[in-house]
Amino acid sequence: NAGVTQTPKFQVLKTGQSMTLQCAQDMNHNSMYWYRQDPGMGLRLIYYSASEGTTDKGEVPNGYNVSRLNKREFSLRLESAAPSQTSVYFCASSEPGHRDGIVYFGPGTRLTVT
Amino acid sequence: QKEVEQNSGPLSVPEGAIASLNCTYSDRVSQSFFWYRQYSGKSPELIMSIYSNGDKEDGRFTAQLNKASQYVSLLIRDSQPSDSATYLCAVKREAAGNKLTFGGGTRVLVKP
């Protein structure tokens, strides 16, 4: 099993450009997440999806949109990138319920906005 | 006050010693607690979970939970250079819709 996969691994954008980060998991998990990680800030939740067809805002949703395309795939879109969105983005998945704190992370996307 | 707080470190320990990491949390009704390890340039991976007061041991790792004092700690016994990483404390908080809230992480450096 590949676990959680993300594309691309690296990306450089100019301010105002848009892009979509792709994520897929093959563990048949219902819950999927997008986090961003900035130095000293830990991981902050951007959006999550408890199941196919549902999405909810996390701690820092402004400037982002998401799509839960099916049970496997959860994409994150930046409509108009800003330098403040320079970060490392992690997609993750988990089983719901008692074990939903056990989160499996993808390898990350390192995004720089100039 | 951050919901989950950790000393950023670095925590420098000699090889073979015990590394002691602490984490405090503000949401008293939190029920589930996790430690994730993150190597430089890599993604976090779960190493311990703890749900009730007391100690939980797994190999060289021991997690300790004290809900009354609202802290959770991680001990790494017989520290190895391969333990050099950032350790993230995570708390499942009802106020956050039962989603995980992460601390900023403690960087551990094990010196041979």
Among A5, A44, A103, most B C-beta atoms within 10 A, so best to mutate, is A103
How would residue A102 be classed by pLDDT, with cut points 50, 70 and 90? confident
Is B95 near chain A, with CB under 8 Å? no
Pairwise pLDDT comparison (A99 vs B83), residue with the higher score:
B83
How would residue A34 be classed by pLDDT, with cut points 50, 70 and 90? very high
**Above 90 in pLDDT, residue B96?**
no
Average of per-residue pLDDT across B23-34:
90
Q: What is the pLDDT of residue B76?
A: 98
Average of per-residue pLDDT across A12-31:
96
Q: What is the pLDDT of residue B108?
A: 98
Cα three-residue angle B104-B108-B112, rounded to 5 degrees: 170
Q: Which residues pair with B110 in a beta bridge?
A: B13
Between positions 7 and 66 of B, the ones with CB within 8 A of A are 8, 32-34, 42-46, 49
Q: Tens digits of per-residue pLDDT, A41-84?
A: 789 999 999 888 899 999 999 999 999 989 999 999 999 999 99
Nearest CA in chain B to A95: B99
Contacts for A75 with CB less than 8 Å, ≥ 6 apart? A20, A21, A22, A23, A66, A67, A69
Cα three-residue angle B8-B13-B18, rounded to 5 degrees: 100
Torsion B100-B55-B8-B38 (CA) sign: negative
Average of per-residue pLDDT across B28-45:
92
Sort out which chain B residues have CB atoms less than 8 A from A58's CB and list them.
Answer: 99
Strand ranges for chain B from DSSP E: 4-6, 11-14, 19-25, 32-38, 45-50, 54-58, 61-66, 71-76, 85-93, 99-102, 106-111
**Identity of the residue in B42, B92, B103 whose CB atom sits nearest the CB atom of A101:** B92
Sort out which chain B residues have CB atoms less than 8 A from A102's CB and list them.
Answer: 34, 46, 49
Nearest CA in chain B to A32: B99
Contact A74, A29 (CB under 8 A): no
CA A107 from centre of chain: 11
Is B90 near chain A, with CB under 8 Å? yes
**Tokens matching residue B14:** 């000699």
Shortest distance, CA B33 to any CA of chain A (angstroms): 8
Over pLDDT 90: what percentage of chain B? 80
**Above 90 in pLDDT, residue B93?**
no
**Above 70 in pLDDT, residue A100?**
no
Cβ of A56: how many Cβ atoms within 10 Å?
13
What does the alpha-carbon distance between residue B94 and residue B6 come to, in Å, rounded to a whole number?
20
What does the alpha-carbon distance between residue A46 and residue A93 come to, in Å, rounded to a whole number?
14
Count A/B contacts: CB-CB distance under 8 Å: 51
DSSP annotation of A99 reads G
Cα three-residue angle A92-A101-A94, rounded to 5 degrees: 40
